[in-house]
Amino acid sequence: EAGVAQSPRYKIIEKRQSVAFWCNPISGHATLYWYQQILGQGPKLLIQFQNNGVVDDSQLPKDRFSAERLKGVDSTLKIQPAKLEDSAVYLCASSLVLAGQETQYFGPGTRLLVL
């Protein structure tokens, strides 16, 4: 079974530029998450999709961040314009619920550095 794919793996941009990240979840997984992980901290949920609908985006800075999940499969996360404090690893995860237990599978992440 292929895992969660993310690209690019690394990105360096200057502040005020825009950037986009792509995620391809595990086939058949209805739920997709985007997390922000700042160095030395735990992942922080940015947005949660169920199929192509948004379940939770309460912690997404909507003035600069946007995300979409077209056709309930792939997803993109965009930052425009980027700030220095956006430097972090952006993790995508997808999940499956079986027998009442959810298992979340994470991708390798995209490491973003904003200069």
Partner 1 sequence: QQQVKQSPQSLIVQKGGISIINCAYENTAFDYFPWYQQFPGKGPALLIAIRPDVSEKKEGRFTISFNKSAKQFSLHIMDSQPGDSATYFCAASGGTYKYIFGTGTRLKVLA
Q: Which residues bind partner 1 (CB under 8 A)?
A: 4, 31, 33, 40-45, 48, 55-56, 91, 93, 95, 97, 101-109
Phi and psi torsions of 54, nearest 5°: -85, 125
Closest distance between partner 1 and the C-beta of residue 78, in Å? 20
19/93 with CB nearer partner 1? 93
d(CA 14, CA 33): 26
22/105 with CB nearer partner 1? 105
- Which pair of structure tokens corresponds to residue 114? 């904003």
Closest distance between partner 1 and the C-beta of residue 92, in Å? 8
Are the C-beta atoms of residues 44 and 36 closer than 8 Å to each other?
yes
15/49 with CB nearer partner 1? 49
Closest distance between partner 1 and the C-beta of residue 16, in Å? 28
Closest distance between partner 1 and the C-beta of residue 12, in Å? 16
CA-nearest of 65, 68, 36 to 49 is 68
80/103 with CB nearer partner 1? 103
Q: Nearest 10 degrees: CA dihedral of 39, 90, 94, 26?
A: -120
